[in-house]
Amino acid sequence: DADVTQTPRNRITKTGKRIMLECSQTKGHDRMYWYRQDPGLGLRLIYYSFDVKDINKGEISDGYSVSRQAQAKFSLSLESAIPNQTALYFCATSEAGKNSPLHFGNGTRLTVT
């Protein structure tokens, strides 16, 4: 499903480096999210945005920041990467409304050495 596109798909970086993960969508959804997935744990919400001017912290926002450049673009930054940020990162979108499911990209696998 190319409606939600994440770049890069894989990234290896060193401790202390700043890194940005990008997400773009063609679904026309206002709401965008960044999740992190670790083995044995459920997806955990890092940040979410209900529109271009609205940014909210999720469950695990420490060490991360986001930017909503446009309705279709939502990027996640790790200011100073550390090894325990090694994980699979997913961007998702949804329509407004409580019945709206999440539409995920195919993820970015990030390794911090």
Single residue of 19, 21, 24, 33 touching another protein by CB under 8 A: 33
Are the C-beta atoms of 103 and 27 separated by less than 8 Å? yes
Single residue of 31, 64, 78, 85 touching another protein by CB under 8 A: 31
Q: Can you tell me the distance from the alpha carbon of 87 to that of 36, in angstroms, rounded to the nearest whole number?
A: 7
Options 11-19, 34-42, 70-78, 79-87: segment touching another protein (CB under 8 A): 34-42
Neighbours of 38 (CB within 10 A): 12
Q: Which of 47, 44, 43, 18 is nearest to 31 (CA)?
A: 47
Q: Does 90 bind another protein (CB under 8 A)?
A: yes
Q: Which of 52, 53, 54, 43 is nearest to 92 (CA)?
A: 43
Options 11-19, 60-68, 73-81, 97-105: segment touching another protein (CB under 8 A): 97-105
Q: Where does this chain bind another protein (CB under 8 A)?
A: 1, 4, 31, 33, 35, 40-45, 48, 50, 56, 58, 90, 92, 94, 96-107
